Amino acid sequence: MRFTEIGQQLRAYRLESGLRAEEIAARLGVSRAALYRYEKGEVIKLDTVNRLAEMLKISPLSLLGIGVEYYNRPIGFFERLRQVEETADQILQVSFPLAYLTSSDELDAIEADLFAEAAAEAGAERAAARATAEQVLSILAERKRMFRMRRPSIIAMLSSGAILRFLQQGVGQGMARSESLRQRARAVARTEMENIANLMTAEPMGLQFGMLSGTEPSGQFQILRARDRAMLAINPFRTDTIPHLQAGVAMITGADEAVAAHQRVAEAMWREAIKGPAAAQELRGLLAAH
């Protein structure tokens, strides 16, 4: 068993469950320090794995990294994605309207303000909403920090339809926002798209964008390749939507057939995508129209 990976998945599923470390440790009959050691990769007994899986309402095989991992809360999925990204050398993704890891710090700042405003209006759930938002923002910040340090290559395909909606509605589209925040959100969305257009023109080493202007993809996914394996992540969650109110089921798997099937789809999309300066021109046309 790969105890480090079991520990990583334990942390992701703990965040997913919403249970505090103290609660899980107490139910297991161990100290909180012991639980944190498990999460850092200390040897864990199979009986303990089974008890943890039952407590977290998941399959023991999922906790062992065998089969498919499912997450129905952004916090658990983003944490697990952060872990997989830490060893990835190449990321191939179909995402809309942007590739989060390449986004600016201004996007994180406006998301923090959006979440704070939403939490303030959450009534009795205010404290829980604020705590969840802070955890998610911390995980997102760590993902971006690690990307900037390691610089894995990224091939990202963006939907022109999703970009158009992003420009029209701004960051946090679909959320209730104050007028001042809505105006800032639209300005930041525009800045993000201008940055991507510049990257498309410059074509820096290890970073490629393609524009999908035909039929919009039905969902977002990433294939993350490391030296010894590839993982598929299917993502229904947005980074700019209130974490505690998002509904969906995310999935991560290393199954060869799942990775290969999505690889074929991504390669077909990439062949049809507009790339380089032509894509930049297309994106700037959308910017000029809005």
Q: Kindly give the interhelix angle for 32-39 and 3-17, rounded to the nearest 10 degrees.
A: 120
Whether residue 2 sits in one domain with residue 98: no
206-224 per-position pLDDT tens digit: 999 999 987 777 789 999 9
Query: Rounded to the nearest 5 degrees, what angle is found at the Cα of 4, between the Cα atoms of 32 and 21?
Result: 20
Find the mean pLDDT for residues 145-166: 95
Whether residue 135 sits in one domain with residue 52: no
Whether residue 148 sits in one domain with residue 62: no
Whether residue 132 sits in one domain with residue 5: no
Range of the domain at 53: 1-66
Judged against a pLDDT cut of 80, whether residue 260 lies above it is answered with: yes
Q: Identify whether 97 is preceded by a cis peptide bond (ω within 30 of 0).
A: yes
Cα–Cα distance, 269 to 263 (Å, whole number): 10
Query: Rounded to the nearest 5 degrees, what angle is found at the Cα of 75, between the Cα atoms of 65 and 47?
Result: 35
Whether residue 39 sits in one domain with residue 89: no
Whether residue 257 sits in one domain with residue 136: yes
Using CA atoms, how far residue 142 sits from 41, 155, 197, 280, 285, in Å, is 20, 21, 25, 29, 34
Phi, psi angles (nearest 5°) of residue 82: -60, -45
Identify the weakest region by mean pLDDT among 52-66, 182-196, 258-272: 52-66
- H or E segment to which residue 250 belongs: strand 250-253
Judged against a pLDDT cut of 70, whether residue 1 lies above it is answered with: no
Domain count, the chain: 2
Identify the weakest region by mean pLDDT among 13-17, 40-44, 201-205, 241-245: 241-245
Q: Which two tokens stand for residue 193?
A: 């798209």
Whether residue 191 sits in one domain with residue 93: yes
Q: What is the per-residue pLDDT for 245?
A: 66
Q: What is the per-residue pLDDT for 129?
A: 85
Cα–Cα distance, 188 to 68 (Å, whole number): 36
Using CA atoms, how far residue 64 sits from 2, 4, 8, 27, 253, in Å, is 8, 10, 10, 20, 12
Whether residue 214 sits in one domain with residue 95: yes
Whether residue 18 sits in one domain with residue 99: no
CATH number where 246 lies: 3.30.870.10
User: Among 44, 66, 88, where does a domain finish?
Assistant: 66
CATH number where 15 lies: 1.10.260.40
